[in-house]
Amino acid sequence: MSEKLKVAIVGCGGIANGKHMPSLSKVEQVELVAFCDIIVEKAEQAAAKFGVEGAKVYEDYKELLADSSIDVVHVCTPNSSHAEISIAALESNKHVMCEKPMAKTSEEAKQMVEAAKRTGKKLTIGYNNRFRPDSLHLHNVSARGDLGEVYYAKAHAIRRRAVPTWGVFLDEEKQGGGPLIDIGTHALDLTLWTMDNYKPKAVLGTTYHKLGHMENAANAFGSWDPEKFKVEDSAFGFITMENGATIVLESSWALNTLDVDEAKVSLSGTLAGADMKDGLRINGEEFSRLYTKKVDLGVGGVAFYGGKAESDSDIEARQWIESIINDTEPLVKPEQAFVVTQILEAIYESAKTGKAVYFD
């Protein structure tokens, strides 16, 4: 493909400005040609900063999708509109990168998977943490069988005090939840992917709103408004898989703990274990002695490496665009992201009912 792919952005807020548009602007085969936001000034600012000359600005995404020259759409809106916009874009003959989580509900996520199959267009979800060197290396180690059968894992998404106070993060209606669906989703995606296990059997979950009522709270992003804090401040899940494996998922924006980790995973297998607590560490037993090996993750030997320093978001954008140009599968498959959404939804449901949720 000699011509550049024409890419449009729907939702020109924090994640678009912080991740999608800067990374896409570094991909040579891309032209950012259209920008849409319900606050049209945001779209205008994005077009001025990242767009090609003559880039179009929209307030209504449906008008943007009517432009048949657009090849790819990045959906960077609140969670409640992910499915609606992604499905409409796919049915408008466009490939779609949707920011995580895939959707607010598993039914919506299922409809997204079906739309991609029906239209034959590519769909991927923005789980950029898979593209980190430690994540890629751990995935390869696990896939090669070095850990043996991985039967226990922990998905870490714990912040001590880092509640996002901007946008709609505290709005349950627009987001579907708090730290579980926001950052817990990254940790769970990494865990399922490095285990290569997408068959949950049962889920037991708890959610808490214990600190969200605090006035003038210490917080990395400034004190939150207790009146607007409508989501959980922490959530935890106990997940059993069809093959007997167990996953513990922990997530918080505000929790009285010093054991802080985000978008990290710990795996325990029959031959060895691994964690991301202090860099990537592999632990096991050799010649009747226990060992702990810290993996050197310097440049080299990393999948998708482009020969220069790239962030995980930069690699994500480039690999996604290349998958369209070369007609290959993106690293993050929609069917995988669907299972993440299923499990997150089950944790919330279990927390509300006090009962375990079982999968068919």
In this predicted model, what pLDDT tens digit does every residue of 178-199 receive, in sequence order?
Answer: 999 999 999 999 999 999 999 9
The dihedral region occupied by 120, where left means phi > 0, alpha psi between -120 and 50, and beta the remainder, is: left
Q: What is the CATH number of the domain that holds 277?
A: 3.30.360.10
Does 182 lie in the same domain as 241?
yes
Residues 6+ apart with CB under 8 A from 78: 11, 167, 168, 171, 174, 175
d(CA 282, CA 293): 5
Cβ atoms of 65 and 91 within 8 Å: the answer is no
Does 141 lie in the same domain as 191?
yes
d(CA 54, CA 4): 16
Task: Give the pLDDT confidence score for residue 1 in this predicted structure.
Answer: 43
Cβ atoms of 317 and 124 within 8 Å: the answer is no
Cβ atoms of 177 and 206 within 8 Å: the answer is no
- Bridge partners of 202, per DSSP, are 240, 358
Task: Give the pLDDT confidence score for residue 295 in this predicted structure.
Answer: 95
d(CA 73, CA 82): 12
Does 284 lie in the same domain as 245?
yes
Task: Give the pLDDT confidence score for residue 321 in this predicted structure.
Answer: 98
Does the predicted model carry a pTM greater than 0.85? yes
Does 239 lie in the same domain as 316?
no
Q: What is the CATH number of the domain that holds 318?
A: 3.40.50.720
Task: Give the pLDDT confidence score for residue 347 in this predicted structure.
Answer: 98
Task: Give the pLDDT confidence score for residue 308 in this predicted structure.
Answer: 57
Does 160 lie in the same domain as 38?
no
Task: Give the pLDDT confidence score for residue 310 in this predicted structure.
Answer: 83
Position of tokens 């929209």? 58
Task: Give the pLDDT confidence score for residue 360 in this predicted structure.
Answer: 86
Both tokens assigned to 129: 């943490």
Does 174 lie in the same domain as 50?
no
Tell me, what amino acid is at 281?
A: R
Does 193 lie in the same domain as 109?
no
Does 93 lie in the same domain as 26?
yes
Does 354 lie in the same domain as 254?
yes
DSSP string covering 126-157: --GGGGSHHHHHHHHHHHHTTT-SEEEEEEEE
How many domains are there within the chain?
2
Task: Give the pLDDT confidence score for residue 300 in this predicted structure.
Answer: 58
- Cβ count near 182 (within 10 Å): 20
Residues 6+ apart with CB under 8 A from 255: 158, 159, 160, 211, 233, 234
Query: Could you tell me the residue range of the domain that residue 237 belongs to?
Result: 130-303+339-358
Does 267 lie in the same domain as 294?
yes
Does 146 lie in the same domain as 285?
yes
Does 296 lie in the same domain as 211?
yes
SS3 category, 33: strand
- Residue 200 sits at φ, ψ, to 5 deg, of -75, 150
Is it true that the peptide bond before 101 is cis, omega within 30 degrees of 0? yes
Going residue by residue through the chain, which has 360 residues, state the pLDDT in tens, using 9 for 90 and above. 458 999 999 999 999 999 999 999 999 999 999 999 999 999 999 999 999 999 999 999 999 999 999 999 999 999 999 999 999 999 999 999 999 999 999 999 999 999 999 999 999 999 999 999 999 999 999 999 999 999 999 999 999 999 999 999 999 999 999 999 999 999 999 999 999 999 999 999 999 999 999 999 999 999 999 999 999 999 999 999 999 999 999 999 999 999 999 999 999 999 999 999 999 999 999 999 999 999 998 755 555 555 556 899 999 999 999 999 999 999 999 999 999 999 999 999 999 999 999 998
